[in-house]
Structures are given as structure tokens and as C-alpha cells.
Amino acid sequence: MSIKIGIAGYGNLGRGVECAVKQNPDMTLAAVFTRRNPADVSILTEGVPVCRIEDAADWKDRIDVMILCGGSATDLPEQTPALAQMFNVIDSFDTHARIPEHFANVDAAAKKGGNVGIISVGWDPGMFSLNRLYANAVLPDGKDYTFWGKGVSQGHSDAIRRIEGVKDARQYTIPVESALEAVRAGENPELSTREKHTRECFVVLEEGADAAKVEEEIKTMPNYFVDYDTTVHFISEEELRKNHSGIPHGGFVLRSGRTGWDGENSHLIEYSLKLDSNPEFTSSVLAAYARAAYRLSKEGVSGCKTVFDIAPAYLSGKSGEELRKMML
Amino acid sequence: MSIKIGIAGYGNLGRGVECAVKQNPDMTLAAVFTRRNPADVSILTEGVPVCRIEDAADWKDRIDVMILCGGSATDLPEQTPALAQMFNVIDSFDTHARIPEHFANVDAAAKKGGNVGIISVGWDPGMFSLNRLYANAVLPDGKDYTFWGKGVSQGHSDAIRRIEGVKDARQYTIPVESALEAVRAGENPELSTREKHTRECFVVLEEGADAAKVEEEIKTMPNYFVDYDTTVHFISEEELRKNHSGIPHGGFVLRSGRTGWDGENSHLIEYSLKLDSNPEFTSSVLAAYARAAYRLSKEGVSGCKTVFDIAPAYLSGKSGEELRKMML
């Protein structure tokens, strides 16, 4: 019995899910759904149809879990509730302030359809969130730290590209090593934005653009750069393509805390990710939670869930006996 | 509504649970149970009774969760099933080969009593197991590594103490840094026992004992030392007490894996613990799972569970809304 997966949206994330499905022997890709003309979309898996997203309803009985691969800004707030009426769904919604609203919408739609919807799945939100929760539950007297990077921030790269005179750009978020070390040493530092991360930008200029002016505009950009120590490198288009075409990312979740009758003992919990491909790792997490949605749905569960609500065993294709034997 | 906790067994672990209960505002220590004469057992919490373990049944309606703090060799295989008939129970059973049998015994007893039993809770088994499961589910094509230390191994320290001429001893298990680095670099090394950990021993000799002979006996001891590079230091009793009286431990769980259509991208997931007090950290995990057992029991669940079967949200005193807002 293979879990039949649908992919809604075929960009980097959708392609990542396609690769993840190939890696999981208990899953089969049933169809890919797109807002583009399906004839223009070429996928990796042979023999799998590409369909119009408007025709998703026709697949109601042929798809066990639909994995949504659109963006959080405009796609998912519409698509996840709409598709949750017809399918078990998984998304990677990451607009933190709107999670309560999104949760409520998906919950209502999923309950109406008798489906399971798991939202905000990936690594942050996702695996990082899980680690924050576990660490907080185990060490109630402590302090949390999250560092991101080294990795490409799509939002910051886009912000640079919008500057006049910029042809292309890639921005790396880099954790400050000395801040990380202070946390690991149990110093419980209070860290400002500037003290936690630096930003490094690789910029390709349009011909005739004023480099000094572009650098100034980047470094003083509110929200994105002004609160950080930012380095700007001007490079050629070839160099950008050659050395900066990947989408690596990662980061660290730490909690340092104290135990004992008078808090006399210190402990450090650290979780970290070093990812060659941000979208492919996110996709791999989505696939694991698709398995959970499928199994919960078979048990008659419906409604919206997050990673907090899913017992870990549901993510694995192995039985309880196997898990206890191999991983406990 | 405070969760009423009972502690069965008052050694390092029991005292750790007592401290953990103090740190969790939704828990109250109801009673401590001991096989010793209760009059001989002095606990830290004022006003809480110390009782004979044989009288535990009298407390059936006054304790929500009993946390078992005995040893895995002989205590828990008897006590956990016996107490699971009367109480929700948590234990830290860590004899890996006997987990299936223990699980079955606790499951039968807990179901008979209508209680929840969560076994093998702590950090390994426990938090390390969780991280193995999550990482395997997310990266199906990969390789697992667990390193322990730097930390005190009670079993190895005891083994040294049994040697003729040894008055006292403390053994540290130390991960080999170069092996850790090779794993982190994504080299997927095949590591022998000797390549993963070294063992460092601090030994106090009886007067007149033959140091060379003791050292030889340690280094050639089957199972415990012969497969490791072992260093032996002879020190005074004062030095042992001064510099080696703590019970630190910790370790690393890593999984390196590949994603992409042809496995072209590498990823590294790393979880690590650096613990001043092994028993206090274990106790803190036990306390968090006691909360989960209480809540599951209130929902009508019964039977034996492990950390794999518990949705993370059950560990936290916070509501779903709060968790989504603060930690997702």
C-alpha cells in the first residue's frame, strides 16, 4: 500500500518534494498541480501527469496527501484551506504573525472535509520549533537562542535586487561565532540583533551603475540591513553563477538551563542543521509529515495540526516494535 | 490543578526528580517511597512524607504519576509493572535488549489498571532516541552516528573498583574529536569502537597495591576497556573527591544524508547535550514526560508508551495556542 502524493506548485520546493517521494519507498507521486500551463511544466518523474490546479477536485479519490509548495505570502493562505476540504494537506507556512489565523482557517476546512492538515512544516518553523519545545519542557529554567546560517536568505537577496543599478544579488546570513561560543559556554548572554548575525552580499551591477551608492543603499536599508554589520562584494555575473548558485542554509537552536535544588548545575542542549539545499531539506520534512497525515487520517483524525501535535512514531514507516528495537 | 508526583526510589535520580518537581509550577511532590527505613531517609522538600514502597497502594488516589528512580538491572523490571497497575508511571529503563519484554509487561499491567506507563525516558534512551527517529524520517538516505561523553560512566567506574588493589575510581568516556569532525564533514566514515571513543580513568589505589598490575588489568578488561585506547591516572583520594566528584555527561547524535534526484546534496543534522549532572538532566526529562502521562491519562489513554508515541505538545504546560505563538 503506497501513499499517493500530490504536489501543488512546482518550483524549488515542489521539485524537492518530488525527489523526497522518490527516496521514500512507501510513497508514490500521483500528480503535480500547477497554475501554469501544464504543457509548459516538465517534471523529473516519468509517467506522472501535470495538471491544472483548478482540476485538483477530480483527483479527490486518487491522492492520499497533497503537499503544498507555494509561498506563504499569498499562495498558502488561500490554497491550504481550499485544498484541505478535499485532501489531507501539508504546508510550510512560515509567516509567523499569521499562523493563528491560518491555523483556524485550515482547521475549519479540514474538519469540514474530514481531513488532516499539518501546517508550518519544514525546519524553521518545523524541526527548530520541535527542538525549542522539547528543550523548554526539559529545562524550564533556561534561556533560548536561535541562530540562522550560514545560508542564503531569499528575502534579503530579493531586497538587494530591487535597488536601482543591481542586476543580480545573493545574500548570506552568517551567525557570529563568538556569540555562539558565549552561549555554548553557558554565559547566557543578552545578544542584540547585530551581535547575533552578520550579512554578506554578493552583488552584480548593471553597466554604469554607481557601486558606492548601491553599497550605501544596501547598508542603510531599514529592517533588512541597517541593524547588521553588512559586507558588500561586487562580482561578475559569471562569478555569481559559478560560486553562488546553491541554496545552502542551516542554523542552531540552543537552550542553556539550570537544574538542582538551587540551580547549581548547568546544561546545554544544541540542535543544528547544515544544509546544502534549503528547499530539498524542507521538502524532506514535508514528506515525512505527509506520512503522518496519511496515518492519522486512517485513524479517523481530522483538523489542523502542527509538528507539536504529531507523535514522532507517525513520521516513520517502521512499526513500533522496529522503532523500539532500532532507535530507542 | 497541580500534578501530584510520587517518587519511587531516592538515590541520585530520585533527588533529581525532587528538584525537577520544584522547577515545574504545575507539579507538587506528594510522597517519596523507599525500600529503606523511611526514618533513615531525609529529603529536601519540607513537609513531604517518606513512605515504605510496600505502602504505595495506600496512595492510589493521592498520586497522579509515580516516577520510578530505581535501576534497570533488577529494580525496574519488577517495580514498573507492579506500580503501573496502580499508578501512571514513568521510568528510565535502559537495558536495550530487554526493552521488548519490559514494554510488554508494563503494557499489560498499565492496561489492567487503566493507567499510562512511559518507559525508557531520559536522554539515551530518550532525547537521543527522538533525534535518531526524527533524523531518519527526514533523511531516509543517510547514516547515523551516536557519540557519548565527555562524561562519567558509572558501569566502567564500578568495573575498575572491582579490581583488587583499587580503592576508588572514576572513568570518563570521551568522544574522539577527529571522528566527530569526519562525520560533520560529511565523510560518512566507518568507525570502529576504538575510533569513536577513548577512556580515561582516575584511580585511587589501596595502600601497597601494584600500580602497573592494576593498569594492565584495566586496559585488558574484556568488553569494558580492551577495545579502547585507555589512559590510567593514579591520584590521591583527596584529588578524586576534589576534581572528580561530579557526574557530568553528554554526547552527540548525528545523521548525515543526501537528497536530490541523484543524491547530489548533503545535509547534516546534529543534536548534542553537555550536562553538568547526568541524573538531574535525566530527572528533568522524566518530569516532562510525567506531565504527558498525566494528560494522556485524563484523555482516557492507557497502556505502555515510549517517547516515540508522545506528541511533543503533551510535554509542555502551555496550551496549543501559546506553543504556536511562542515556539513554532
Three-state SS letters, A22-84: HHCCCEEEEEEEECCCHHHCCCCCCCCCEEEHHHHHHHCCCCCEEEECCCCCCHHHHHHHHHH
Does the predicted TM-score (pTM) go above 0.95? Answer: yes
A169-203 pLDDT tens trace: 999 999 999 999 999 999 999 999 999 999 999 99
Does the model's ipTM exceed the 0.90 cut?
Answer: yes
Q: What is the pLDDT of residue B106?
A: 98
Q: Where are the alpha helices (DSSP H) in A189-277?
A: 193-196, 211-219, 237-243
Q: What is the pLDDT of residue B180?
A: 97
Q: Is the pLDDT of residue A284 over 80?
A: yes
Q: Which residue has the cell 531517609?
A: B41
C-alpha cell read off for A63: 491522492
Contacts of B141 in chain A (CB under 8 A): 23
Q: Which residue has the cell 578524586?
A: B240
Say whether residue B190 is in contact with chain A using an 8 A CB cutoff. no
Scored b (16 or more CB within 10 A) or e, B144-177 reads bbbbbbbbbbbebbebbeebeebebbbbbbbbbe
Say whether residue A125 is in contact with chain B using an 8 A CB cutoff. yes
Backbone dihedral region for residue A3 (phi beyond 0: left; psi -120 to 50: alpha; all else: beta): beta
A46-90 pLDDT tens trace: 999 999 999 999 999 999 999 999 999 999 999 999 999 999 999
What is the overall mean pLDDT for chain A?
A: 97
| Cα A87 off chain centre by | 21
Backbone dihedral region for residue A100 (phi beyond 0: left; psi -120 to 50: alpha; all else: beta): alpha
Contacts of B16 in chain A (CB under 8 A): 259
Q: What is the pLDDT of residue B46?
A: 96
B105-141 pLDDT tens trace: 999 999 999 999 999 999 999 999 999 999 999 999 9
Q: How confident is the model at residue A1 (pLDDT cuts 50, 70, 90)?
A: confident
Interface probe for A, chosen from B48, B180, B267 (most Cβ of A below 10 Å), is B267
Q: How confident is the model at residue A234 (pLDDT cuts 50, 70, 90)?
A: very high
CA angle at residue B92 from B161 to B183, to 5 degrees? 80
User: Using CB atoms, which residue from B259, B275, B277 is nearest to A281?
Assistant: B259
Question: For residues B32 and B44, what is the distance between their CA atoms, to the nearest angstrom?
Answer: 11
Helix (H), strand (E), coil (C) string for B77-106:
HHHHHHHHCCCEEECCCCCHHHHHHHHHHH
A9-37 pLDDT tens trace: 999 999 999 999 999 999 999 999 999 99
Question: For residues A317 and B222, what is the distance between their CA atoms, to the nearest angstrom?
Answer: 38
Do the beta carbons of residue A109 and residue A85 sit within 8 Å? yes
Cis-peptide into B219, omega within 30 deg: no
C-alpha cell read off for B181: 569532525
Q: Which residue has the cell 568522544?
A: B175
Indicate the length of chain A as a whole number.
328
User: Using CB atoms, which residue from B99, B131, B328 is nearest to A99?
Assistant: B328
A133-148 pLDDT tens trace: 999 999 999 999 999 9
Say whether residue B120 is in contact with chain A using an 8 A CB cutoff. yes
Q: What is the pLDDT of residue A145?
A: 98
Neighbours of A42 (CB within 10 A): 8
Give the CA radius of gyration of chain A.
Answer: 22
Three-state SS at A116: strand
Question: For residues A124 and A146, what is the distance between their CA atoms, to the nearest angstrom?
Answer: 10
CA angle at residue A204 from A203 to A205, to 5 degrees? 110
Contacts of B277 in chain A (CB under 8 A): 259-260, 265, 267
Q: What is the pLDDT of residue B1?
A: 76
User: Using CB atoms, which residue from B137, B266, B316 is nearest to A137?
Assistant: B316
Whether residue A137 and residue B99 make contact (CB cut-off 8 A), yes or no, is: no
Question: For residues A310 and A322, what is the distance between their CA atoms, to the nearest angstrom?
Answer: 19
Question: For residues A42 and A27, what is the distance between their CA atoms, to the nearest angstrom?
Answer: 21
Q: Give the DSSP letter of residue A261.
A: T
Cis-peptide into B77, omega within 30 deg: no
Do the beta carbons of residue B302 and residue B114 sit within 8 Å? yes
Question: For residues B67 and B19, what is the distance between their CA atoms, to the nearest angstrom?
Answer: 13
Question: For residues A214 and A205, what is the distance between their CA atoms, to the nearest angstrom?
Answer: 9
- In chain B, which residues have pLDDT < 70? none
User: Using CB atoms, which residue from A103, A272, A327 is nearest to B129?
Assistant: A327
**Gap from A164 CA to chain B (nearest CA, Å):** 34
Do the beta carbons of residue A29 and residue A5 sit within 8 Å? yes
Question: For residues B70 and B79, what is the distance between their CA atoms, to the nearest angstrom?
Answer: 8
Interface probe for A, chosen from B308, B316, B323, B325 (most Cβ of A below 10 Å), is B308
